[in-house]
Amino acid sequence: MGVQNWTYIIVGITFTLYIGIAIWSRAGSTKEFYVAGGGVSPLANGMATAADWMSAASFISMAGIISFAGYDGAVYLMGWTGGYVLLALLLAPYLRKFGKFTVPDFIGDRYYSNTARLVGVFCALIVSFTYVAGQMRGVGLVFSRFLEVDINTGVIIGMIIVLFYAVLGGMKGITYTQVAQYCVLIFAFMVPAIFISIQMTGNPIPQLGFGSKLADGSGTYLLDKLDGLSTDLGFAEYTEGSKSMIDVFAITLALMVGTAGLPHVIVRFFTVKRVKDARKSAGLALLLIALLYTVAPAVSVFARTNLIETVSNQSYATMPEWFKKWETTGLIVFDDKNNDGHIQYLADPIKNELIVDNDIMVLANPEIAQLPDWVIALVAAGALAAALSTAAGLLLVISSSVSHDLIKKMINPNISEKGELIAARLAAVVAVCVAGYFGINPPGFVAATVALAFGLAAASFFPAIILGIFYKKMNKEGAIAGMVVGILSMLFYMLKFKFDWFGGGGKADWWFGISPEGFGTIAMIINFIVSIVIMKFTPEPPQDVQDIVENIRIPNGAGEATGH
């Protein structure tokens, strides 16, 4: 059987499993739709959180970024992993104790203002739509390569699958589907990594393999070999960084605080019964996430080494089948500038004849290494699981923001539970259609989707949530002003330096030497400053709100010890 047949079988089995789970766990109430009834076990929630967190960006793109950026790509590992720790320790238990369904719900109630709620809805929608557009595009790319359908057809198939289990099951269906998707994606990521680690170094543990000596008996370390291959082609040494320290710090911090402000991850902690369970599931999710994140650097090294050895100065006519098939997707482009029939893969953009998209590295890695067809198909199923799990979580954030925060809380407070559930499902249908449209017709910012989404979350939600939990004097005026100024600052900087609006500008024009990917840190600081300054000149929050803030910081059962 070929790769395509194996892909049909494995993807077909996993999709049948997801749809079966959605039917079995369909939501019958708004509480089940929004937070799975609040009765999910810590283990199931930990697995679902890990799947929700590890999107197509983690599964497909992160190792690809590290493959091409080398040491500089480590900022994504540090930022995203550190951000999850920040979320688990600083926010999850307190938000769970506050007991609201959504982040805009927390913002609206904590800051006793429908204006604050509206700003929260706006931020949640922008963050979620920018993030989900990339997921849908990832689904289309996987389908277009492995099922050999048009990329637009691939996006539409993904839309139908996500729509089915997100609309039918709500958070209850998504939670148990994500448990299955975690198992699929982690198995799909680990199996080829173990195969290739044994193949290249003889070590079955990828985390150790990429720091080991080659299995060819030369005594050369794998990383030393990759450094040599890179410098021979004019690239920088793989293990050397080129970013300035302030930019590394800014990007890492922006990704960390952006992570801690992502609404689709935060809402997962509302699905468990108790605050204690929120802490447990956060810890379990961190362990489960670490499995993929500690293997990603190894996959990056394996893929980069194999790619260079396979294509550099080789005859185009003798390129293996995988190369020709990826060419049809447009993610590998060969331009024979000197008409000699050989591929010149070089750092010099004038002489270079090969353009390789970062996003193919994980997907093509098993093919480049000539692994069995079923392993190649398994990676396709894992990539789909990663993209679909996050897409479903984001679509639920969008639908709940519209139905619960906008319609129920602001437009029609007397809407029945059945009416609210219908509104949530209709909102999910519209959200899937919009996400699908962006997947088929990507706007200019899709290439920077992840940076924009994390930057916006850092600039808007993180300060409002942190101050809302830990500073009882923070009032609505300060929070609203901070969120608005923060998000507008981030949007301005991204549009100016990423997309050449407002006169554009190059690297030399960056403020403080910080790239657009790292500017979320500056926008977050601006948010904090504006929030606190405005708060100083406006009335204190009502006493009952201050009491709520005091209460959510006191552990359950601590009343006698604290005298409260």
Q: Which residue type occupies 90? A: L
Give the Å distances, CA to CA, from 217 to 207, 213, 223, 304: 20, 8, 15, 21
Residues 378/14, Cβ–Cβ less than 8 Å: no
Separation between Cα atoms, residue 111 and residue 72, nearest integer Å:
39
pLDDT for res 26: 66
Count of CA atoms in the C-beta half-sphere (13 A) of 24: 9
Residue 556: the pLDDT is 54
User: What's the CATH number for 33-241+274-307+356-441?
Assistant: 1.20.1730.10
Q: What is the pLDDT of residue 366?
A: 92
Closest CA to 490 of 526, 464, 465, 463: 526
Which string of DSSP letters, residue by residue, matches 24-74? HT---SHHHHHHGGG-B-HHHHHHHHHHHHS-HIIIIIIHHHHHHHGGGGH
pLDDT at 561: 40
Chain centroid to CA 296: 14
Nearest to 157 by CA among 359, 390, 388: 388
CB 453 within 8 A of CB 258: yes
- The whole-number pLDDT of residue 62 equals 82
* Spans in the chain with pLDDT lower than 70: 25-39, 100-101, 165-173, 442-451, 555-564
Q: What is the dihedral of CA 475, 477, 483, 485, to 10 degrees?
A: -140
What pLDDT does residue 49 have?
83
CA dihedral 219, 224, 230, 234 (to 10 degrees): -110
Instruction: Judge contact between 347 and 234, C-beta under 8 A.
Output: yes
Q: Which three-class secondary structure state does DSSP give residue 499? A: coil
User: What pLDDT sits at residue 449?
Assistant: 62
What pLDDT, on the 0 to 100 scale, is given for residue 557? 47
d(CA 19, CA 436): 19
**Residue 168 pLDDT:** 63
Residues 6+ apart with CB under 8 A from 70: 230, 236, 237, 238, 239, 240, 241
CB atoms near residue 509 (< 10 Å): 10
Amino acid 563: pLDDT: 43
Domain boundaries, the chain: 33-241+274-307+356-441, 448-557
